[in-house]
Chains A and B, each alone.
Chain A
Amino acid sequence: MSSKPQTLFDKLWASHRIGSAGDGADLIAIDRILLHERTGGVALKMLAETGHAVHAPSRVFAIMDHIVSYRADRAADDARSPGGEVFIRETRNMAQYAGIHLIDSNDPRQGIVHVIAPELGIAIPGASLVCPDSHTCSLGALGALAWGIGSSEAEHAMATGALRVNPPPQMRITIHGELPEGTGAKDLALHIIAQHGASGGKRCAVEYAGSTVENLSVEERLTLCNLAVEFSAFTAIIRPDDKVFEYVEGRPFSPAQEYAHRAAEQWMALETDEHAEFDYELSIDASQVVPLVSWGTSPAQSSAIHTPISQKADSRAMAYMGLEPGAPLAGLRIDGAFIGSCTNGRLSDLRSAAKILAGQKVASHVHAVCVPGSQQVKRQAEAEGLDIIFKSAGFEWGAPGCAMCFYAGGITFPPDARVISSTNRNFEGRQGPRVRTHLASPATVAASAVAGMIAQSESSKPEIDA
């Protein structure tokens, strides 16, 4: 046996490696499979059509989140896009037929798959998880090996309990320093992508490490890892620590009490050994992070709101966004504001927005919507009275799901609307035909909604020398 120092990723990989699958790939055991009605229903259907059974139904979870209506009084089948009911009904039927866990639209456990997987203890340290959804990388925040796949790979994982995967290269991003007041994990993630480009992750398994990361809460770590796919990473991962162990404890699908001690012992070993080697190393100074807002149609096209957009900026993106180079983002009139999604739809996100909205009103021309990431987040927020703050400020308060994070047909912001959004994708048409999406933190979205234009919260304004 060699005693070569191992990375956290190496350890996770080794503990799931069934064997070589030839041609450089490994056969990797899949512990838990998550599905949603948009891409999971079709995987269940293909599986049934080809006559394959689900290998371990008790480890597969179907969740309704993508096209469920976000109206507060939705019925179980209500979709937010015309014809969307078909996806909800068929996924429900197929899930029942396959005998897997079903978390239906109005189940008290329901929410966006990447929000509820940690909440329910489905995502735990040391587990391998896949979902036909690219933001599955979020779950690496708990020290899990989690990545997004395609629908037919989900079918594959269900039928065989394993997937054939090429071991990705590895990158460590070490972040030191304190995040300045008024900035958070979203700004940090956009900062990294803006600095190193949308391809900067080089298809690596990216380990986020360093004191800044250790100081982030579990929810903030989920936000940081969520954006890894926008950085072209295979996935992201963070060493699970006491915060995570505490977070995981007692959740419905977490290890039962009788195993808790053994599990904790194994999880403690999930860290990168000293002198372990990575294919790439980056280091980030968190004290340089400022509140960022995207100006273009890639998350990499983000800047501080008072910085004039470069004369050399991508002209296609600028045209789509209706911007002229040389002007800053600050002061641009907005038509819409959205707070929610798997990026920033958790309780801490809603709290940070509510802090800014308390006693304030959204500008009258702004259509503002807040959709909590899960039923649990919604219940907790309501228990704290956050819903009252959002509603009195003029925000719509919706029922949990992906909601306006992506357009699936149906009602959305009108063409050419300028929307500031706490989501993760600003691609052309992402929130509706010709809708112009500006990504930002929940705090920046809230401050902009009140101002009626792109703005940042008081606490994060740069100090101006007199």
Chain B
Amino acid sequence: MKRTPFIRHSGKIAVLPVDNIDTDQIIPSREMKTVGRTGLADGLFAGWRYVSADDRTPNPDFVLNDPEHSDATILVAGENFGCGSSREHAVWALFEYGIRVIIARSFGDIFFNNCLRNGILPIRLSPEKTDRIMALTRDTTFVIDLPEQQLHFGDSAVRFDISAYGKRLLVEGLDPIDLTLKSFEQIRHFHREDETLRPWIYRAVH
């Protein structure tokens, strides 16, 4: 399945100045209502975004409910963003809501990979750079150039790192399954050899 390529993005930031935002906060389990990856945006940050779990009145103190931030497409957070449960729904919810880039000091591993597979660019920056971005005024526009690995805002430009593979997935909008299937002969060959070494794995009881 081909995805929309991610090349350049410009948008506004919303800052969540909290460490260890786990995937339960990004999308509480109760908000995962269907077996699928859509219909999740309403549940994004539901615990913080609404006054209570049942009453969907927006909580005015939550950054994405601030009219000046409601169109933000870039999230900025502290350490270990997306830790906790492996639920990919967190990334699907963010994407469906419109988030395209997440800047943080560090990320949960599974979450980070899930972003790359689903068209969201996760950017790891040093604490100093993250703090500098967090302190910016809310109307600063950010331009992210993925091929160049540059982040522009105001008069500043910051370079960020990304693996060549992650970059390729995003820039070309590639499906990782199709990429791996290109090596399918090699995989098959490995299995055939391995089966002679560890037959018990391949001849499972039915």
Which positions in A face B, CB cutoff 8 Å? 18-19, 21-25, 27, 29, 31-32, 38-39, 41-42, 45-46, 50, 52, 56, 58-59, 81, 83, 86-87, 90-91, 126-127, 132-134, 148-153, 155-156, 159-164, 166, 198-199, 203, 232, 234, 252-256, 259, 263, 266, 298, 316, 406-410, 425, 427-430, 433
Given that A22-B165, A45-B35, A232-B80 are contacting pairs, would A152 and B110 also be in contact in the complex, using a CB cutoff of 8 Å? no
- B190 surroundings in chain A (CB, below 8 A): 18-19, 29, 162
A23 x B186 contact (CB < 8 A):
no
Given that A39-B86, A429-B25 are contacting pairs, would A203 and B109 also be in contact in the complex, using a CB cutoff of 8 Å? yes
B180 x A164 contact (CB < 8 A):
yes
B183 x A18 contact (CB < 8 A):
yes
* Smallest beta-carbon distance A36→chain B, Å: 11
B204 x A59 contact (CB < 8 A):
yes
* Smallest beta-carbon distance B143→chain A, Å: 26
A323 vs B20: C-alpha distance in the bound complex, in angstroms?
Answer: 20
Given that A39-B86, A150-B114 are contacting pairs, would A156 and B176 also be in contact in the complex, using a CB cutoff of 8 Å? yes
The verdict on B63 contacting chain A, using a C-beta distance below 8 Å, is no
Given that A133-B86, A134-B110 are contacting pairs, would A156 and B201 also be in contact in the complex, using a CB cutoff of 8 Å? no
B88 x A27 contact (CB < 8 A):
no
A199 x B22 contact (CB < 8 A):
no
A160 x B177 contact (CB < 8 A):
yes
* Smallest beta-carbon distance A317→chain B, Å: 10
Question: Chain A contact residues: over half helix, strand or loop, or mixed?
Answer: loop
A32 vs B89: C-alpha distance in the bound complex, in angstroms?
Answer: 23
B177 x A253 contact (CB < 8 A):
no
- A256 surroundings in chain B (CB, below 8 A): 200, 203, 205
B87 x A18 contact (CB < 8 A):
no
Which positions in B face A, CB cutoff 8 Å? 1, 18, 20, 22, 24-25, 28-30, 32-37, 47, 52-53, 79-80, 83-89, 91, 106, 108-111, 113-114, 117-118, 163-165, 175-177, 179-181, 183-184, 186-187, 190-191, 194, 197-206
A42 vs B114: C-alpha distance in the bound complex, in angstroms?
Answer: 14
- B87 surroundings in chain A (CB, below 8 A): 38-39, 150-151
Given that A42-B36, A81-B30 are contacting pairs, would A156 and B86 also be in contact in the complex, using a CB cutoff of 8 Å? no
A59 vs B206: C-alpha distance in the bound complex, in angstroms?
Answer: 10
* Smallest beta-carbon distance A395→chain B, Å: 24
Selected contact of A58 from candidates B28, B108, B186, B206, CB within 8 Å: B206
Closest to A87 in B: B35
A-B contact pairs, 21 of them (CB 8 A): A19-B186, A23-B164, A29-B187, A46-B37, A50-B1, A59-B202, A83-B33, A86-B34, A127-B201, A134-B86, A149-B86, A150-B87, A153-B114, A159-B180, A160-B177, A160-B181, A162-B187, A166-B163, A408-B30, A433-B47, A433-B53
* Smallest beta-carbon distance B52→chain A, Å: 7
B204 x A253 contact (CB < 8 A):
yes
A407 x B181 contact (CB < 8 A):
no
A32 vs B30: C-alpha distance in the bound complex, in angstroms?
Answer: 29
Selected contact of A155 from candidates B47, B53, B177, CB within 8 Å: B177
A150 x B22 contact (CB < 8 A):
no
